[in-house]
Amino acid sequence: GAVVSQHPSWVICKSGTSVKIECRSLDFQATTMFWYRQFPKQSLMLMATSNEGSKATYEQGVEKDKFLINHASLTLSTLTVTSAHPEDSSFYICSASLGGPAKNIQYFGAGTRLSVL
Amino acid sequence: TQLLEQSPQFLSIQEGENLTVYCNSSSVFSSLQWYRQEPGEGPVLLVTVVTGGEVKKLKRLTFQFGDARKDSSLHITAAQPGDTGLYLCAGARSSNTGKLIFGQGTTLQVKP
Q: B42 pLDDT band (50/70/90 cuts)?
A: very high
d(CA A88, CA B89): 26
Q: What's the pLDDT score for residue A22? A: 97
Residue type, A107: Y
Q: What's the pLDDT score for residue A68? A: 96
Instruction: Say if A104 is an interface residue toward chain B (CB within 8 Å).
Output: yes
**Residues in chain A closer than 8 A to B97 (CB atoms):** 32, 49, 103
Instruction: Say if A62 is an interface residue toward chain B (CB within 8 Å).
Output: no
Q: A54 pLDDT band (50/70/90 cuts)?
A: confident
d(CA B109, CA B41): 17
**Residues in chain B closer than 8 A to A32 (CB atoms):** 97-98
Is a pLDDT exceeding 90 seen at residue A110?
yes
Record: contact A105-B88, CB cut-off 8 A: no
Is a pLDDT exceeding 60 seen at residue B1?
no
Q: B2 pLDDT band (50/70/90 cuts)?
A: low
d(CA B74, CA B109): 15
CA nearest to B30 within chain A: A104
pLDDT digits (tens, 9 = 90+) for B10-21: 999 999 999 999
Is a pLDDT exceeding 60 seen at residue A16?
yes
Residue B104: count of CB within 10 angstroms of its CB:
17
Record: contact B86-A32, CB cut-off 8 A: no
Instruction: Say if B22 is an interface residue toward chain A (CB within 8 Å).
Output: no
Is a pLDDT exceeding 80 seen at residue A1?
no
Considering only the beta carbons, identify the residue of B42, B90, B92 that sits closest to A110: B42
Record: contact B45-A42, CB cut-off 8 A: no
Is a pLDDT exceeding 80 seen at residue B87?
yes
Q: What is the mean predicted confidence (pLDDT) over B73-96?
A: 92
Is a pLDDT exceeding 90 seen at residue A105?
no
Sheet holding B71-76, edge to edge: B5-7, B19-24, B71-76, B61-65, B55-58
Interface with chain B: mutation pick from A43, A60, A91, A115, highest number of B CBs within 10 Å: A43
Q: What's the pLDDT score for residue B53? A: 96
pLDDT digits (tens, 9 = 90+) for A66-83: 999 998 888 999 999 999
Is a pLDDT exceeding 90 seen at residue A103?
no
Q: What's the pLDDT score for residue A104? A: 81
d(CA A43, CA A56): 22
Instruction: Say if B43 is an interface residue toward chain A (CB within 8 Å).
Output: yes
Q: Is the peptide bond before A86 cis (omega within 30 degrees of 0)?
A: no
Largest interatomic CA distance in chain B = 44
pLDDT digits (tens, 9 = 90+) for B61-78: 999 999 999 999 999 999
DSSP A50-105: EETTS--EEPTT--TTTEEEEEEETTEEEEEE-S--GGG-EEEEEEEE--GGGTT-
